[in-house]
Amino acid sequence: MVGAKDFTLKVTGREEIGPHFVRLHVNDGGLLAACGVHPTMWIRLWFDGGGKAHQRAFTLVDPDPEAGTFSLDFALHEGSASAWARGAQPGDILEATVQGSRFDLPESRPERVFAVGDPASIPAINSLLESVNGAPAVVLMEYVHEEDRELPVATRPGDQLHWVPRGSDGQALVDAASGAVSADGVHGNYFWLSCEAASVRSISKYLRKDLGVDRKRIMSMAYWRS
């Protein structure tokens, strides 16, 4: 873990990836040179909401240390980060804090990667898939909007990608994850859980308690709270 460091990012471009998903390109204000870069790296960003500063976590997309640039993907919903991203234009600035994020695979190449996420974790899952040395993956993605299914999930030939609709709660995703894993067995799998908090908790509990998966083979992080 590195100590916290603060940086000022400057927006240099904007791409509408989908009706509910925007990519902003930024100049990194020296962040990558000072902190280095690793797969699935995330940082804390500060957004104004009702006159108060709110800290939110976001994942680096295509970090380029030499150029001092990266992009940020925003899944759009309610909230201060989304509100800011909807209106962000080149020239806007954004305060960032790096407290260190880690990435540890249990071994250099798991037999299979099983990732569960939603549009907010597409950047992390894409980075994960790049860094598992070709291990095949099963990816379950929860979606709310039909158009989300067109979002760029970087699955490779041979990977499986399943989209699961989010109804009034996240139960369908929990059921899909439980069904997929129990059917296939868990030996040699690395599990990456990055979705809504209650879903992460349920799936993680199922893996550890019901299937006896070693905690070290599960990366679980609540990305947001319903």
Site residues (CB under 6 A) for ligand FAD? 42, 47, 54, 56-59, 73-75, 77-82, 120, 123, 221, 223-226
Give me the least distance between CB of 85 and ligand FAD, in Å please. Answer: 8
Give me the count of residues in the chain. 226
Give me the least distance between CB of 158 and ligand FAD, in Å please. Answer: 26
SS3 call for 209: helix
CB atoms within 10 A of CB 209: 9
Which is nearer to ligand FAD, 184 or 220 (by Cβ)? 220
Which is nearer to ligand FAD, 132 or 195 (by Cβ)? 195
Give me the least distance between CB of 156 and ligand FAD, in Å please. Answer: 21
Contact 79, 158 (CB under 8 A): no
SS3 call for 1: coil
For β-strands 93-98 and 42-49, DSSP reports them as antiparallel
Give me the least distance between CB of 21 and ligand FAD, in Å please. Answer: 8
Which is nearer to ligand FAD, 74 or 114 (by Cβ)? 74
SS3 call for 2: coil
Which is nearer to ligand FAD, 41 or 176 (by Cβ)? 41
Give me the least distance between CB of 1 and ligand FAD, in Å please. Answer: 14
For residue 96, what are the β-bridge partners?
7, 45
* Alpha helices (H) along 101-196: 122-130, 171-184
- In the bound state, the residue with its beta carbon closest to ligand FAD is 79
Which is nearer to ligand FAD, 81 or 132 (by Cβ)? 81
Sign of CA dihedral 97, 99, 105, 109: positive
